[in-house]
Structure 1
Amino acid sequence: MINILRIATRKSPLAIWQAEFVKSNLVSLYPNLKIEIKGFSTTGDRFLDTSLAKIGGKGLFIKELETALKNNEADIAVHSMKDLPPQLPKEFVIAAVLERHDASDALVSNSYSDLNLMKPGALVGTSSARRQSQILAAFPEVNIKLLRGNVNTRIKRLDEGAFDAIVLATSGLERLGLGNRIAQRLPIEICLPSAGQGALGIECRKDDEIIELIKPLNHDLSEKCVNMEKEFVGLLNGSCSLPIGCFARLFDNNKSIKCEGFVGSLDGKVILRDEVTKVFDDSSNLSYQLYKNLLKQGRWNYLKRQMITDDLSNRRILILKSDQAPNILLSRLQKKCNKLIYVPIVKTLPNFRSSKVTQKFNRIDSYTLVIFISPNAVRYTFQFLDDQRMALPDHIEYFAVGLTSANLLSSRVNNVNYPKVNFSSEGLLELARFRDVINDRILIFRGGEGSNLLRESLISQKAEVDYCDIYERQIDRDKLIEAKKNLKCCDCLIVYSAQVLDALGQLINIDNSRNWTELTLLVPSERLASVAMGLGYKTIKIAKNSSAECMEIALNDIFS
């Protein structure tokens, strides 16, 4: 029997309203149920002066809430369905989609009552690539400028005169009691909504009894339409970097369903749009049919080339990394970028003389689980073992943070496990094995002065954890000066560690010949992005993980 239900939500006024709305619905069903609302700040909330496309997409609004679910800090999370990516992590499920409110976009303006009345050069604020594309397609003479932040913040910017008009979701305005600020509800013929817009979703753990508790809140018809829209976006591999819209609606007394979709260029010069109508009971493949119809339109390949495989040939890309780290990304980019610079700014040295390292190896049989943080950790461990004519025990479970480390480790041990998507400490902790580590003895091989995230998290779960700092990392001062010289003409800086960011910041602060925080920075994790934000970087792109493929995709997104 569940006595207390904890709701995770973002901290914005709209998100809190949505959580309170869900709470009130649950209280009406279960009057004796105690419900708590817990607010969390998400990555998407923290990076407010950069478009979502440049920092990693809509998933940045839910990561911390899903972490709260995973760590049993919350039982459910309340989301705007439009903020959810097409696919959730496999351990989570949307237990209910509440009845949908108005899905349209709204024009808010102190000067104009209709988009058709806007003068050439009028400035419109939005955070959405979808809105930008469609508004420019219909009104090419207006100007679009990035505007992020919560609803009240955006309206304040409008009232201060920073914009002639802004475009927001109608449902969000009405939920906050700001419906009187709506100048025009944009017709879907002009601005097709985002998939899931106007609907709230409740997420929980897939194997949780909470699902049965939440199910009565589900609105079947809204769920059907939203799932259809999300499926269409998923088929296009959509994120915030692609202007995509989709809207499904029922008619003829809910006997028929129409689904409209579009994909376009950011400048609005190319718009592909279509619709499919079917009998509701025979609509299982409607999203796929709509997707295929768009692909048949002649300019899809043009859009794909423009938005995904942007030409990097004349971009100045600077990569700062360890001298021993494998640089597959460098090899991939050398074929595409004529102005690529790689500076091995971090020197790695073995730490074999440390008595603590020797002690860890002498007691390695006593551990139940061993983790390797990096390829260097694997290499230096192998080198130490070879020098001492030792081997890794067979009875231990072995884990690696990334694919490269796992491949190296697999040459000597069987059944190496690693996170398949998120190559980071956070990704490792999401693996099922790390949900129950009580009484496990865990040894972590890493470089000196690394992050303590893994140890702190595992100790909190009653595991016994030791670090083995198998190698040391030192900033090469000569290489640091070389890196600084190249920053003066750099279009994008790629960094893999907080140590490099700190060293770079200390050196550049001595000579302010260029405001280094204005650089576009590409990093492989949200944790490193938070460090960069603390150092003052303003434009930060977060790759899906540290693999060369994902880093290259993120780099293309920056210049698309």
Structure 2
Amino acid sequence: MAANNKEKRTIIVGTRQSALALTQTGQVIDELKRISEQHGFDYAFEIRKIVTKGDQILDVTLSKVGGKGLFVKEIEQALLDGEIDMAVHSMKDMPYELPEGLMNGAVPKRVDPRDCLIMKQGGSLADLPHGAKVGTSSLRRSCQLKNLRPDLVVESIRGNIDSRIRKLETEGYDAVVLAAAGLNRMGWENRISAFLPEDVSVPAVGQGALGIECRENDEQIRGLLDLFNDGETAYAVRAERSFLGALNGGCQIPIGAHAVVRKGADGTLEGAELTLTGIVGSADGEVLLKEIKTGSDPEALGKEVAAALIARGADRILAEIGG
């Protein structure tokens, strides 16, 4: 799909107003400017900050706030109302089903999808003493940590990245768990004490990736975003999101999935295969179900891994949690 390069246009980009959201939106705009110049498009860009429900409620755990799309609904409404032309989301915040008339126009190249520890002392998960106090905003992370280390006291911690890190000192945490991607995008990699490998903490669906959402009928924006899309990342994320959709899950329940791409013999996605790891766990960490399967059709693979977990009781676990 070719973008119209003859018409001057200011593209309004919607985003949450946290430092991380604004930073990653700025990085997206910088890349879109480069692409626009390369292809002779006459586009300018403007950021529009939008407050979401998830940003307004900071004294309650996300799982208790309830509902899907806590960090995207208000932004999507602005898209539907024509107040903005595209939106930059962390892919892990995006529900499987998008509102009618909206689409994911691009999935840029993914950065590190792993979870990581920011610790007061020590350099690994094993260094945390018995009964250490660990903060996380995610039931998925809490579930996996409790399953591996039942001795840990895992407590809910909300707020932006820097405020959560500050709570190591102000609220007596021994460690906090964050997405490495956010620290990467902020240039704060040096704050990471240890990465949690996938066999310890399976990432959230789409973690490390961004979703650039737009209106289906906006041909100019779709043409521009098509040039920004990373095929390999999009291929992997499709499998992860298919898994999420099959479980009817959201980002507030203990669901995780990560797909790894093995390219075809010619080094392209032609003949490529995906290995998808999916988990569903109980909030207390006592039950943690995991399935790993390989396939070439992202949507079919996501559904297959979800079906295998449902056969083992994942649907009952999610029903109890409220998924």
Separation in structure 1 between the aligned mates of residue 251 and residue 223 of structure 2, nearest angstrom: 33
Between 250-259 and 17-26, report the one with greater CA deviation.
250-259
Matched, 1:257 2:274: yes
Match of 1:35 among 36, 45, 48: 45
Sort the Cα spacing of 1:285 and 1:305 in 2 relative to 1 into closer, same or farther, 3 A: closer
Q: What's 1:300 paired with? A: 314
Cα contact 1:52–1:58 (8 A) shared by 2: no
Q: Provide the secondary structure at the position in 2 that maps to 1:133.
A: helix
Q: What's 2:304 paired with? A: 289
Sort the Cα spacing of 1:233 and 1:27 in 2 relative to 1 into closer, same or farther, 3 A: same
Q: What's 2:17 paired with? A: 11
Match of 1:192 among 160, 179, 202: 202
Map 1:400-415 onto structure 2 (within 5 A): none
Runs (5+) with no aligned partner, structure 2: 1-6
Separation in structure 2 between the aligned mates of residue 95 and residue 132 of structure 1, nearest angstrom: 32
Q: What CA deviation, in whole Å up to 9, does each residue of 1:230-283 have, x standing for no partner? A: 1101111112443100000112656321000000101100111011012x3x55
The ranges of structure 1 where at least 4 consecutive aligned residues each deviate by more than 4 angstroms after the TM superposition are none
Match of 1:235 among 221, 233, 246: 246
Q: Provide the secondary structure at the position in 2 that maps to 1:217.
A: coil
Q: What's 1:204 paired with? A: 214
Q: What's 2:287 paired with? A: 270
In the TM superposition, what is the alpha-carbon distance from 1:69 to its structure 2 partner?
Answer: 1.2
Separation in structure 1 between the aligned mates of residue 131 and residue 93 of structure 2, nearest angstrom: 30
Separation in structure 2 between the aligned mates of residue 242 and residue 128 of structure 1, nearest angstrom: 8
Between 13-22 and 62-71, report the one with greater CA deviation.
62-71
Separation in structure 1 between the aligned mates of residue 181 and residue 131 of structure 2, nearest angstrom: 28
Q: Provide the secondary structure at the position in 2 that maps to 1:291.
A: helix
In the TM superposition, what is the alpha-carbon distance from 1:129 to its structure 2 partner?
Answer: 0.7
Q: Provide the secondary structure at the position in 1 that maps to 2:11.
A: strand
Separation in structure 2 between the aligned mates of residue 240 and residue 101 of structure 1, nearest angstrom: 19
Aligned partner letter, 1:195: V
Map 1:67-78 onto structure 2 (within 5 A): 67-78=77-88
Q: Provide the secondary structure at the position in 1 that maps to 2:238.
A: helix
Map 1:127-276 onto structure 2 (within 5 A): 127-209=137-219, 210-251=221-262, 255-276=272-293
Runs (5+) with no aligned partner, structure 1: 309-556
Identity %: 39
Separation in structure 1 between the aligned mates of residue 245 and residue 273 of structure 2, nearest angstrom: 23
Aligned partner letter, 2:135: G
Larger Rg: 1
Aligned partner letter, 2:320: Q
Separation in structure 2 between the aligned mates of residue 228 and residue 41 of structure 1, nearest angstrom: 30
Q: Provide the secondary structure at the position in 2 that maps to 1:197.
A: coil
Sort the Cα spacing of 1:78 and 1:118 in 2 relative to 1 into closer, same or farther, 3 A: same
Q: What's 2:4 paired with? A: none
- Greater RCO (CA < 8 Å, at least 6 residues apart): 2
Q: Provide the secondary structure at the position in 1 that maps to 2:154.
A: strand
Aligned partner letter, 1:256: E
Count residues in correspondence: 306
Root-mean-square deviation (CA), in Å? 1.6
TM (normalized to structure 1)?
0.53
Sort the Cα spacing of 1:111 and 1:36 in 2 relative to 1 into closer, same or farther, 3 A: same
Cα contact 2:117–2:125 (8 A) shared by 1: yes
